[in-house]
Amino acid sequence: MNIAIAIDGPAGAGKSTIAKLAAKELSFIYVDTGALYRAIGLCAYRNSIGSKDVPAILKMLETIKVELAFNENHEQVVLLNGEDVSALIRTPEISMYASDVSAIPQVRAFLLDLQRNMAKTNNVIMDGRDIGTVVLPDAKIKIFLTASSQVRAKRRYDELIEKGMDVNFDDVLKDVETRDYNDSHRATAPLKPADDSVIVDTSDLNLEQSVEKLISIMKERM
Ligand code: DC
């Protein structure tokens, strides 16, 4: 029986960085489900389909294939119609597109089996918004990772600057707050802590402290 650990939380809480390190420590596979929504967002964007144009997005879904693979370093790669789009999905435009398309119930249904199958065949740490509530309701450990919007925006801003992107802090903060609102107010699978999750606020923790805290929660409950 494989073990699943669900990590949910708002944009920029550090889920992916922390989950990646924790997965390495535990020899689990790390699955970043946001990348799947981002790939669908990218596809809509490339085809000049509005992120809220539901009929056009549903039509597009009929023609696309989204897959997850792992490279030789065990890092996740997301494939859109066979093309590795892992790097292309990390822009602010695609973040917002992903948030919008993720509110469409059929988009969520389209990605559900893919996510569940990953957990059937591997020990996983899976991060997203609805992993503990919808995708893997029976996950052995559920963590809801959060931090204040200011702290999350600062982390995201530093990350984008480091990648050489030309962004300003107020725009990043606005994006974080808009996505928080969208992700937690949509009708289907909104972002919220599962009743049986452990809530971890990393506002006052650095990366090492956050990883340490998560790993200690995981080891304690495994
Ligand atoms: O984790 P992320 O920031 O890469 O996710 C991008 C968007 O995808 C996010 O704003 C909401 C959506 N998402 C979702 O609805 N459910 C998930 N399990 C993961 C992401």
Residue bearing the CA closest to ligand 1, atom 2: 34
Instruction: State the average pLDDT over residues 165-188.
Output: 94
Q: How far is the CA of 170 from the centre of ligand 1 (A)?
A: 21
Confidence (pLDDT) at 60: 98
Q: Which is the closest atom of ligand 1 to the Cα of 11? A: 3
Q: Read off the pLDDT band of 92 (50, 70, 90).
A: confident
- What's the pLDDT at 56? 98
Count Cβ atoms within 10 A of the Cβ of residue 182 and give its class: 0-12 exposed, 13-18 middle, 19 or more buried.
middle
Q: Look at ligand 1, atom 11, and give the residue with the nearest C-alpha.
A: 99
Structure tokens of 118? 């990953």
Ligand 1 centre to CA of 34 (Å) is 4
Is the pLDDT confidence value at 9 over 90?
A: yes
Give dist(CA 55, CA 96) in Å, integer. 19
pLDDT above 90: residue 201 = yes
User: Which of 194, 58, 68 has the alpha carbon at shortest distance from 129?
Assistant: 194
Ligand 1 closest atom vs CA 96:
10
Mean pLDDT of 107-118: 97
Domain that holds residue 49: 4-221
CATH number at residue 159: 3.40.50.300
Domain count along the chain: 1
Residues with CB under 6 A from ligand 1: 11, 33-34, 37-38, 95, 98-99, 102, 128-131, 179, 183
114-137 confidence digits (pLDDT tens):
999 999 999 999 999 999 999 999
pTM attached to this predicted model: 0.94
87, 75 contact by CB (below 8 A): no
Q: What is residue 109's predicted lDDT score, i.e. its pLDDT?
A: 98
Are 59 and 65 contacting, i.e. CB atoms less than 8 angstroms apart? no
pLDDT of residue 1: 83
Q: How far is the CA of 95 from the centre of ligand 1 (A)?
A: 8
What is residue 186's predicted lDDT score, i.e. its pLDDT?
Answer: 94
- 81 CA to centre of own chain: 20
Nearest-CA residue for ligand 1 atom 5 is 34
pLDDT tops 90 at residue 73: no
- pLDDT, tens only, 174-185: 999 999 999 999
| Per-residue confidence (pLDDT) for residue 143, from 0 to 100 | 97
Q: Are 32 and 127 in contact (CB under 8 A)?
A: yes
